[in-house]
Amino acid sequence: MLRTVRHIITKEFKQIFRNKTMVGLIFGMPVIQLLIFSYTANFEVKEINIFIENRDNSPTSVEFIHKIEASKFFTLTNVATYKDGLKLMEHNDIDVILSIPQNFGKNINLGKPTNIAVVTDAINGVKAGIIQNYLQNVVLRFSKEKITSKVKLRKMPGIEINSHNWYNPTLDYKVFMVPGILVMLITMTSLFLSAMNIVREKEIGTIEQLNVTPIRKWEFILGKLMPFVLLGIAEFTLGLLIAFFWFRTPIEGSIVMLYLFTIVYLVLVLGIGTFISTITETQQQAMFIAWFFSVIFILMSGLFTPIESMPVWAQRIADFNPIKYYIDVIRLVMLKGSTFVNVSKQFTIIVIYAIVLNVLAILNYRKTSG
């Protein structure tokens, strides 16, 4: 039995490494994508064009404007009037308009409440929300500084907020995104390669030769999957090294547990790809079906949009998405140092999916090719 599987594995490795383009796609493409996506796929907003209408012109209001201008997020845009600012916003040249009222400085110095008006271009709702949060943080810091310097806090009631950012003190978005993007790349590479595996044998006509040999169906499937499991582990190792040494992504949890989950997850994804390969007749068909499922899996995995923000019906569909659970595991183990007990639910679900999908692949291959 093991000898038969070993021969199939050897054949697969020879077939893979004979194609130099395939080797480049397996190792080169994911590395390049990991480096590019980790820098570009983030929700941090910079170079925010802001127009500030200063109707107060007091030293305090000027100081407040300097605080905003000193922020790394805002770029001050000078226009003549408020109406001119609105026109520029219509042409997407200004992202936000802030209006400082009269007596702003006087009210601040006397400890009286004062209001500022903010108009945000909310075509992109996510970006608008982030801009408003940035402005709110600047306002809160400025207010705290002025209260501390002008008024004795012991004579005034107030609330002081002490913020602490756990697991990501610098709020570096790459810390959150790199593990998720690594999962996405491993998923896509493994899914596409396995989806085209058996169907490639059909196209070149070697599947009939294999079918007449005394090889059990499950031995054939196992021999087909093992090379891609090993290649997936090598790809994961390469991505993990880039994440740790290049992006400085912490690995707080057990590396052994990361590999354990990765092996089980690879078996799951390869089972999906193999099942697709058994129901298609050409590599083009397999590619289209694999692409269809990979896009749905990725968009509904919580990688880019929190699952909690999705509609209830979408959350229920996401519960059947294997990528969701693997992303959870990788982020929890790498960033929070979670133990097996913390991720046992995700592990159980992935194992069940892996068994079911591979059994389906074996049964379907037996049905169509036996």
Of the two residues 36 and 119, the one the predictor is more confident about is 119
In this model, does residue 121 exceed pLDDT 70?
yes
Of the candidates 155, 178, 195, which is a domain's last residue?
A: 155
Of the two residues 45 and 121, the one the predictor is more confident about is 121
| Residue 309 resides in a domain | yes
Q: Please compute the mean of the pLDDT values over residues 334-362 and round it to a whole number.
A: 91
Contacts from 13-19 at CB under 8 Å and sequence distance 24+?
13/227, 16/227, 16/231
| Residue 160 resides in a domain | no
Q: What angle separates helix 59-70 from helix 125-150, to the nearest 10 degrees?
A: 130
| Nearest Cα to Cα of residue 344 among 325, 327, 357, 331 | 325
CB contact at 8 A, 252 and 45: no
Residues 18 and 66 placed together within one structural domain of the fold: no
What CA–CA distance (Å, rounded) separates 144 from 192?
A: 55
pLDDT value at residue 7: 65
Residues 197 and 332 placed together within one structural domain of the fold: yes
Residues 35 and 53 placed together within one structural domain of the fold: no
What CA–CA distance (Å, rounded) separates 216 from 210?
A: 10
Residues 104 and 127 placed together within one structural domain of the fold: yes
| Nearest Cα to Cα of residue 183 among 71, 346, 67 | 346
| Residue 278 resides in a domain | yes
Residues 340 and 192 placed together within one structural domain of the fold: yes
Q: pLDDT tens digits, residue range 220-256?
A: 777 778 888 888 899 899 999 998 998 888 898 999 9
pLDDT value at residue 264: 94
Half-sphere CA count of 106, side-chain side, radius 13 A: 6
Residues 23 and 73 placed together within one structural domain of the fold: no
Query: Apex CA 128: angle with CA 125 and CA 129, to 5°?
Result: 90
pLDDT value at residue 156: 42
In this model, does residue 162 exceed pLDDT 70?
no
Half-sphere CA count of 225, side-chain side, radius 13 A: 27
Arithmetic mean of pLDDT over the chain: 80
Residues 241 and 332 placed together within one structural domain of the fold: yes
Q: Please compute the mean of the pLDDT values over residues 184-204 and round it to a whole number.
A: 82
CATH of the domain at 115: 3.40.1710.10
Of the candidates 155, 182, 214, which is a domain's last residue?
A: 155
Residues 129 and 243 placed together within one structural domain of the fold: no
Of the candidates 130, 155, 180, which is a domain's last residue?
A: 155
In this model, does residue 40 exceed pLDDT 60?
no
| Residue 162 resides in a domain | no
pLDDT value at residue 294: 86
Residues 83 and 191 placed together within one structural domain of the fold: no
| Residue 333 resides in a domain | yes
pLDDT value at residue 233: 92
Residue 126: both structure tokens together: 């996510």
Range of the domain at 75: 48-155
Confidence label for 313 from pLDDT (cuts 50, 70 and 90): confident
| Residue 136 resides in a domain | yes
Residues 228 and 314 placed together within one structural domain of the fold: yes
The beta strand positions in the chain, using DSSP E, are 48-54, 74-76, 96-100, 117-120
Q: How many domains does the chain have?
A: 2
Q: pLDDT tens digits, residue range 347-356?
A: 999 999 999 9
Residues 81 and 215 placed together within one structural domain of the fold: no
Residues 222 and 131 placed together within one structural domain of the fold: no
| Residue 163 resides in a domain | no
